[in-house]
Structure 1
């Protein structure tokens, strides 16, 4: 019964290969909505740069012209997609495959266990509290009751130390903005507290449970909340029961409006540790103060520059532990005795190495009472090790296979922790790790209607343009014949020190059932091989990322996995930039393109919402050398009229206030106007959705069905087994 859904797909597409050439031009001769061009020209360092679609930067909620253009684009796209006979069958299979129980890694506080669970097709996961890690628990928060369409979601959460109260963020329509609420955990009663204009940083309770620290931003001007720059954050302390305007200011830097803050309280309630970032780069400043000092007492500096990452892990008395890339591109653990510091001493010279750098990249460390649990990435595969607090190796943490392990959080006093394990062919299972014995126990394993025994993943390495060796993981049905005819999805990211490690995706599983190949290269700019790998793909080195991606496409073709007419590329956010740049640089190489919520106007990205955080990643137009590098690859500015572009569907969302939709609007309008070939250039603009977080399950299924249907038609697929 597993593959009966293919019967419909194969029957309706039986004549596709025979009649596609005759009907291609007719089917693709789409009439796009009129997009007004204006004579806007900006001059950067003596270079005139046209920006004919500047008007598309206006908010779709307030601009009638933009709203009408969006509606017209969506109408064309919906007619195109709904006319693909196979789409209904694809959505049906996605819905069936998505319908399985999914659990988050549990956390524990004061003997209570908290976890998220989705029964299968619920739009939002439900928060439960239980007396045991694998217990049934009771519903604490059900976000599905907050809206009929499932577009209001649960964001960050934090329990007080005694598990009496829960502070949580509530997000609307996928926006980065959150509103903080507080509830009594035992009774489920909602407290009157309501804190607005919160974006990032989470919540840190005081030890007494009478209030918490949080970061808020100034209230934006009317109708500017999804467009205006996110600047001037400030840390406040909120006392339960008081109004937000009465909250006490703890820390702000009005002289540095683009800096962001992360405040942590040590588990023993001795220290408040403040980490300050100026961008999305991991390098940060560190300040601290004693918890029992007055509010007016200043934070003392430990690290006052942005040369290295120093992530606070915890403390043992006066000894503070940090994860750092100082003198260690793949990162290490160091400690610092703050009691012995004097004003004229170099903090870096006073640090003691605990866990030295390894060939593998140290991605994260958790400090427990008598050990450190360290999570490594070795050629994109998870390895976990335990060390004593002096750095002596204890043991490897057993993992059930080759894939990705995540979790391992907890308080320093915990004697157990929990983690998930997943791969491209195995959904995430949940394990308990006994910290004393070092043994792992399976506590939850999902049941999915996907026969993993029929599929396989393997890692290979290919050579990029400049000779760099790049890893790639290829997943597909076992017994795949390399005949250059396999529809292949090449997915990439390559940026912000983010690693793409293996994980199970219903979308990928369905694609593989359709006979497709999933290929994920680990491009420079990510964090797979430490800070050196990241630096090799940022700012003036950004072209390396596109070269790596293009080389992956050429390698897949050379290895006869696929061919240009059967090769699709996809990526989101920074990955949307990757697809946009690759598409404009090599339009001849790809059979279809799916850039999603991408950063596509590289000359003006820093003017909107979170864009200023990306300056250290991309560079800015303020620097002439960086401007010329940005202009050379900016997708919007490199669309060339009269070019034959491959079939492309650009995806964005109207409430995306991370990468504002103007990027996709301007790029899409330019691409439609420039297209010299018959292939469609479509815009899929989701409503009441954002950058991705909090997207309802129904919208995820619909979007994936649209993407796979678009590829089914344009890669000329004929079905799986």
Structure 2
């Protein structure tokens, strides 16, 4: 915490002091609009469950507020500083500690907590008992006028979107404590055909980032009181993925694109979408953009394979934006000039070009002698962008290793089409892409099959398991699965089970790898859905 950007920083909250064994972590936080309070969520022993506490910033004293059974939740304050919205699940009917349950979580709900009150008095703002598996998220618009409610079903990039004009409630939010009624949300988007994220609003005029008829995303505008007409503000790019857009400096936008797995930044006009400036940025990843519409400055978090972390301070008040380094992480003994990073594009089995980053010491001899680590994920529309890793650099520096990241299909590197090209019945594309990358490393002289190690975790663990196993499944097994579809758990996952089984009929390449590291992969396809998050 600092009084201004030039003042000396003070520690506001140090999670390292919250437990003797270091098992308590800070999961989320949000500061009230007036800067008087910070609401923060703590997680114990790696659990997804968090407990929300509130601190008075001036004297660093915790208030008595304590909110339990919170999971997958943000914290969004109303502008009057009286309280905040958050998401939670109903407490179980029997006494137990959060994190010890094995059943799935159902009936996510949105509450409003009034500062200084007991959780039992919180206002239930929204629930959807007809769809117990849906998850919810709520956020207050930057002008404080609306609360936006998002409803999500699983991990697909789609959501419903409702709004409530909280600034015009006759008795304020407190009035609902007495009536026990839910907030009068208006259903703007009431289906799961696309994703909608609020970028900015001027009263009733809202700008959204959406993938509606635009798998690489675009910006649209609509009057939420007259939702019949939607207009494009920034059309979908032919090749690059629009990852984010943030309003700043009145009517400007900071726009982040991903271009061949590398981020680029632009300043655009909020009203017209026209390009104003291209911000200078080296090859790497934008980790965070922090700004408000009223501000003339933007803070940009950046990292790359050879940059531990930089925060840029960009001044938009001048005619040409000024990008300066505000903070930079320094790693003692690390000389980035000793290493090099290349990006190549590898043709997969069907000819699709797969991006792959290759990091090593400079000017290594391509004689097939180098131990090589090949990492992949390829799922859930998640992009694996450049990031700094001390452990991987140690491999390169001290063991002469080569470290590679394969951006295979199933991820989000080229938008929703790239994701779908590696999902369900097309899952085999992920394995083909990964195998092609390994073959390229060998044929190019980086390594040999005995010296290549493949690694992945979670969905990437499944990738590794598939690539190292040589399995044939009786084709009648698929027919049998359909016959068993009357069973609820088979019916829920029938498509996924079927596609995994289909891929298992294909010969993978266990001979291609000398070592495999499969972390927390989904291996038991008949039972994984029974374990909490496995349902997604």
- Cα offset, 1:228, TM superposition: 2.2
Which residue number in structure 1 is paired with residue 246 of structure 2? 366
Which residue number in structure 2 is paired with residue 628 of structure 1? 498
TM-score (norm 1): 0.64
- The higher relative CO (CA closer than 8 Å, separation ≥ 6) is in 1
CA 1:465 to 1:621, structure 2 compared with 1: closer, same or farther past 3 Å?
farther
Q: How does 1:246-645 map to 2 (within 5 A)?
A: 246-291=121-166, 292-293=168-169, 295=176, 296-341=182-227, 345=228, 350-358=229-237, 359-368=239-248, 369-390=250-271, 391-399=273-281, 401-437=282-318, 438-448=321-331, 449-513=333-397, 514-585=399-470, 621-622=491-492, 624-633=494-503
The question of 1:225 aligning with 2:100 is answered yes
CA 1:650 to 1:628, structure 2 compared with 1: closer, same or farther past 3 Å?
closer
- For residues 573-592 of structure 1, the C-alpha deviation after alignment (integer angstroms, 9 at most, x for no partner) is 22122212222249xxxxxx
Distance in 2 (CA, whole Å) between partners of 1:465 and 1:457 is: 25
Distance in 2 (CA, whole Å) between partners of 1:134 and 1:539 is: 52
8 Å Cα contact 1:621-1:627 kept in structure 2: no
Task: Determine helix, strand or coil for the equivalent of 1:141.
Answer: coil
Distance in 2 (CA, whole Å) between partners of 1:252 and 1:633 is: 39
8 Å Cα contact 2:158-2:192 kept in structure 1: yes
- Cα offset, 1:646, TM superposition: 5.7
Q: How does 1:26-45 map to 2 (within 5 A)?
A: none
- For residues 324-372 of structure 1, the C-alpha deviation after alignment (integer angstroms, 9 at most, x for no partner) is 111211111111112334xxx4xxxx11111111121111111222111
Distance in 1 (CA, whole Å) between partners of 2:429 and 2:2 is: 48
Q: How does 1:136-285 map to 2 (within 5 A)?
A: 136-220=8-92, 222=96, 225-285=100-160
Task: Determine helix, strand or coil for the equivalent of 1:139.
Answer: coil
Task: Determine helix, strand or coil for the equivalent of 2:417.
Answer: helix
CA 1:633 to 1:146, structure 2 compared with 1: closer, same or farther past 3 Å?
farther
Q: Structure 2 unaligned runs (5+)?
A: 171-175, 177-181, 472-480, 482-488
Distance in 2 (CA, whole Å) between partners of 1:135 and 1:450 is: 29
Distance in 1 (CA, whole Å) between partners of 2:470 and 2:268 is: 47
8 Å Cα contact 1:164-1:184 kept in structure 2: yes
- Cα offset, 1:135, TM superposition: 4.1
Distance in 1 (CA, whole Å) between partners of 2:307 and 2:157 is: 31
Distance in 1 (CA, whole Å) between partners of 2:58 and 2:140 is: 24
CA 1:135 to 1:570, structure 2 compared with 1: closer, same or farther past 3 Å?
farther
8 Å Cα contact 2:456-2:519 kept in structure 1: no
Task: Determine helix, strand or coil for the equivalent of 1:556.
Answer: helix
CA 1:631 to 1:332, structure 2 compared with 1: closer, same or farther past 3 Å?
same
Distance in 2 (CA, whole Å) between partners of 1:585 and 1:367 is: 51
Count of aligned pairs: 491
Task: Determine helix, strand or coil for the equivalent of 1:306.
Answer: coil
Distance in 2 (CA, whole Å) between partners of 1:585 and 1:471 is: 26
Distance in 1 (CA, whole Å) between partners of 2:72 and 2:493 is: 29
CA 1:167 to 1:634, structure 2 compared with 1: closer, same or farther past 3 Å?
farther
Q: Which has the higher helix share?
A: 1
Task: Determine helix, strand or coil for the equivalent of 1:351.
Answer: strand
Distance in 1 (CA, whole Å) between partners of 2:396 and 2:155 is: 34
